[in-house]
Amino acid sequence: EAQVTQNPRYLITVTGKKLTVTCSQNMNHEYMSWYRQDPGLGLRQIYYSMNVEVTDKGDVPEGYKVSRKEKRNFPLILESPSPNQTSLYFCASSPLNTAQHFGDGTRLSIL
């Protein structure tokens, strides 16, 4: 089954404690991206990747890191999380110019 898998689905943690949200896709897509969604602000792209070892900043990259060592995986890293990073996060993948497939989302709360 074609899918984008994010883990964890839910996480409550504390300020400053490094965390990683994993994302994996099994469709051999070139393009992967991370979004955060906040009430009233819609989906905002954090980082994206066009292919292995190619990543670029989206609209709201501050406080986040990503890596793309393999085509299927695109983890999102918060080195020192802060409460303003409490949000709903989505990973998505696609070929370069077609519709994206989304993961189920990760609800992140930082106290």
Partner 1 sequence: RKEVEQDPGPFNVPEGATVAFNCTYSNSASQSFFWYRQDCRKEPKLLMSVYSSGNEDGRFTAQLNRASQYISLLIRDSKLSDSATYLCVVRTPSGGSYIPTFGRGTSLIVHP
Residues at the site binding partner 1, with contacts judged by CB under 8 A: 31, 33, 35, 40-43, 45, 48, 50, 56, 88, 90, 96-105, 107
Helices then strands, each counted (H, E), the chain: 0, 11
Q: Quote the least distance from Cβ 67 to partner 1, whole Å.
A: 17
- Of the pair 16, 95, the CB lying nearest partner 1 is at 95
Q: Quote the least distance from Cβ 58 to partner 1, whole Å.
A: 8
Provide the edge-to-edge strand list for the sheet that holds 19-25. 4-7, 19-25, 76-78, 65-66
Q: Quote the least distance from Cβ 39 to partner 1, whole Å.
A: 10
- Of the pair 45, 73, the CB lying nearest partner 1 is at 45
- Residue owning tokens 């469709």: 27
State how far the Cα of 50 lies from the Cα of 32, in Å rounded to an integer. Answer: 7
